[in-house]
Structure 1
Amino acid sequence: MFRWYEEAKSIAQRDPAARSPWQVIFQYPGYKALRRHRLAHWFHKKGMHWIARALSERTRHKTGIEIHPGARIGKCLFIDHGMGVVIGETAEIGDYCTIYHGVTLGGTGKEKGKRHPTIGNNVLIGAGAKILGPFTVGDNAKIGANAVVTSEVEPNTTVVGVPGRAVKRGGEKIRQSFELDHIHNPDPVSQEFCRIRNELEQLKKVLMKYENRLNDMRGGLKSPPDCDDDDSNQQA
């Protein structure tokens, strides 16, 4: 089977909106950008950088997806919607990954050499996420929408928030990227509010306990005798 058709078929299987692989081939901008990148990358490896860059720029104008010709991309990458996706020169992407619109695989400085992230296999990157720097995102990882990740992500880990923080790892079952469900990740801000609320509830219970004890102690105390009454009795 031709690789171009295999990739289109893989996208059609992972996108519930796709009617067939042929619709992917002719109407999906992410697929078109990927096919054109393959050609631009070939020219880049042959040292024909001007031609490679020209193809990349034309692809960006046509699809809204900017992939540097030097980026290395594995098989069956699914760029869903695609508008605003930026993939840097030294970025590497594994097989069967899913990237949503607005994602940036960028660098953090002007140094030469490796300066963009390496994405493992079967990784899902949610809309608007920013992965910045020369580190690795492990296999089967999930990056939540609008997360900003600047450090290494272990395999089978879910990262959300700004800055990115791991919320699932290890024994927890990680959904595969082709499930296309990147909106049900835990919200670290909501989790923090829940933690604070639970602590306040515990403090409230402790205060009520001490308040009840104090009331019991007050009720057990006898009122002091009235001095005026004692003087009157003595005079009588």
Structure 2
Amino acid sequence: MLELLGIASLSFMAALSGAVVPGPVFMLVVSESMRSGRVAGPLIVLGHLILESFIIFLVFLGLGPLMKSKLALTIMGFAGGAMLMLMGLRLMRDALNLKINDEALFSNPSLAKTGRASRSLLISGFLSSGSNPYFFLWWLMEGSPLIMSAISIAGAPGLLSFLVGHAFADLAWFSFVSCSIHKSRKFLSWRIVRAILFASSVALISLAIYLPFSLYFQVNMLVNAFMRSLTKRFYY
């Protein structure tokens, strides 16, 4: 039992350390909580967790090395950048079109409880996670070894403890962010809401430009360093 609690605690802290760093999911939670209320955070996280489950499944199928390849990382980086750009431009359009007549919409979060809005938030969580290439890198470089370690320590219960701890960290943090923004919404004018949405859209567009190119150059540096180490090894 203590081993399982230790695995869950380690998983919780590892996930929380990544969740608190602002990224596409964080920006999405901020903007959607303004529009849809406190339910935005949990629904977006659910989409995020669905993608994580898919990645874990691929790792267990042995596709981890393929996903680490230079070509795969480059494709994920630029495809993710394109998705982020579209999300940012859409959010910017909504922010610029926001008028004082939309005040009732923002003060009535029950809109997000409809099936269509819930599905939209869930899909947005899935896409915003997939748009961040460093999300995949974290799972391949750090998440996978942690999972294997949990399995080696406690088998299937260890894996379950790891997944529960990881999911709880994401859900707790983004629910807190979403609830905090929802609570503060009543004190903000529609102009401030529009400014926050616009700032979030600019942040998403900036990430869309920065993340793919930073990953591309980082991958090239890693490949060149690896080739230099091989050259030295065979030379000497």
Instruction: State TM-score, norm by structure 2.
Output: 0.24
Pick 1 or 2: higher relative contact order, CA cutoff 8 A, min separation 6.
2
Q: Is the strand fraction higher in 1 or 2?
A: 1
Q: Is the helix fraction higher in 1 or 2?
A: 2
Instruction: State TM-score, norm by structure 1.
Output: 0.24
Q: Which has the larger radius of gyration?
A: 1
